[in-house]
A and B are shown apart, each in its own frame.
Chain A
Amino acid sequence: MLKRLSAPNVLVVITGLVIGVLGALLAKAGNPPNMGICVACFERDIAGGLGLHRAETVQYIRPEIPGFLLGSTIAAFIFGEFKARSSSAPMVRFLIGVFVMIGALVFLGCPVRTVLRLAGGDLNGLTALLGIATGAFIGVLFLRRGFTLGRSYEAHPIVGWVMPGLMAGLLLLAILKPAFVFASEKGPGAMHAAIVVSLGAGLLIGFLAQRSRMCFVGGIRDLFLIRDPHLFNGLVAALVAATATNLVLGQFKLGFEGQPVAHTNHLWNYLGMVLVGLGPTLLGGCPLRQLVLSGEGNADAGMVVLGMVVGAGIAHNFGLASSPKGATPGGMVATIIGLAAMLAIGYFMRE
């Protein structure tokens, strides 16, 4: 039975179902509405918790993020897949990470939150999905043309242990709550489930995502690249499960306007998410996948995660992040710069 359940195509769907259900439940359990899980928003909250930005409404060390990474580490260890790897253009990966976060903060969501927003009835998720698909499509064109960030090599184990170590430390800060850590008293940063709930959900999802190789951008990318819905099935499963859970919990409201932690500037929702489709296609994984890879010892993915955290700090320090009122001029400029940077990287980095 366990063998049948761990068949790759089944595992992806199970992972999607779990992400969908837990994503909806976490919103009920205290996380912001339609934001039971958002890798970008949560890394932004962590940036705030660490004082990398001082936006008072979004500061909190979200246990889900260390949960995702460490859940992956546990899975990788049990199944012998932990391997320290590094040296595939880390500087470029860091930079792309910065811009992926900026793009996500213009829309106000990562690909997982895009699915969860749709599952809550937020139709702006469709705009975002279109943006991700456009970005992935452009990324596939570059891949077909020979784009590569170069190969990675096995590294000293310590290289692979830095991210799990940092995340364990972060978790300790989340639990012990020392005075120097920032924590919102109002706004989305103040909305969070109990630590044990967030952590438990994070570890389970991280474990399943590592085993199933779940990737929310890969799911769309592979439709273009190899016409294979293997990963896309996981996205669909997540959407279906989250929608059903939301309907049961009375958390579903259909429409574009008045959605929680969202805005209706369609152009910038779209363009911001083009970055979130293109960047991960060039990097080899969505923000969640980058965390999972980091948990397996992949330090190149670790650079992406760090880039995203720094990007969040930059975004909130310079007014690049959107608000429910819409996108900001800074965010628009930064999105265009990010797009230019990713297009240049995609075009010029060939073997």
Chain B
Amino acid sequence: MAIEVDARGLSCPLPVAKTKRALEGIEEGVVVTLVDGETAKGNVMRLAEKMGCQVKVEKVGEEYRLTITKGGSK
């Protein structure tokens, strides 16, 4: 069950702040963050990498869907 963070249209730093809170709430698992701009995409990617997670980015129209995986098999 992935946690979804809909951060589309939200001002800085909410996409990062909400994603961070979601990731800190789980030991391991998946958080899917939706953003609608390059800036938010870059910021969330950087957060995920800093927190040692895997990130997969898909472009969906003009939006981005970031699938962040925390923990799991090494």
| Residue ranges of A at the interface with B (Cβ–Cβ < 8 Å) | 8, 79, 81, 83, 85, 88, 143-144, 148-149, 151-154, 213, 215, 218, 221-222, 225-226, 228, 230, 283-285, 300
Chain B, 10-53, CB within 8 A of any chain A CB: 10-14, 16-17, 20-21, 36-39, 42-43, 46-47, 50
Known contacts A81-B38, A83-B37, A226-B20; A143/B46 CB under 8 A: no
Chain A nearest CB from B34 CB (Å) reads 11
Specify which chain A residues have a CB less than 8 angstroms from the CB of B8 in the assembled complex: 151
B71 located at the interface, meaning its Cβ lies under 8 Å from any Cβ of chain A in the complex:
no
Partner of A151, one of B9, B16, B43: B9
- The answer to whether B42 touches A83 (Cβ under 8 A) is no
Specify which chain B residues have a CB less than 8 angstroms from the CB of A215 in the assembled complex: 12
Chain A nearest CB from B44 CB (Å) reads 11
Known contacts A83-B62, A226-B16; A149/B11 CB under 8 A: yes
- How many residues on B have C-beta within 8 angstroms of the other chain's C-beta atoms? 21
| Residue ranges of B at the interface with A (Cβ–Cβ < 8 Å) | 8-14, 16-17, 20-21, 36-39, 42-43, 46-47, 50, 62
Give the docked Cα–Cα distance between A88 and B42 (Å): 21
Specify which chain A residues have a CB less than 8 angstroms from the CB of B9 in the assembled complex: 85, 88, 151-153
- The answer to whether A222 touches B37 (Cβ under 8 A) is no
Known contacts A81-B38, A213-B39, A225-B17; A284/B50 CB under 8 A: no
Chain A nearest CB from B7 CB (Å) reads 9
- The answer to whether B38 touches A230 (Cβ under 8 A) is no
Known contacts A81-B37, A143-B17, A225-B17; A230/B12 CB under 8 A: no
- The answer to whether A213 touches B10 (Cβ under 8 A) is no
- The answer to whether A230 touches B46 (Cβ under 8 A) is yes
- The answer to whether B13 touches A218 (Cβ under 8 A) is yes
Known contacts A8-B46, A83-B62, A151-B8; A143/B13 CB under 8 A: yes
- The answer to whether B13 touches A284 (Cβ under 8 A) is yes
- The answer to whether B14 touches A213 (Cβ under 8 A) is no
Partner of B17, one of A81, A144, A151, A153: A144
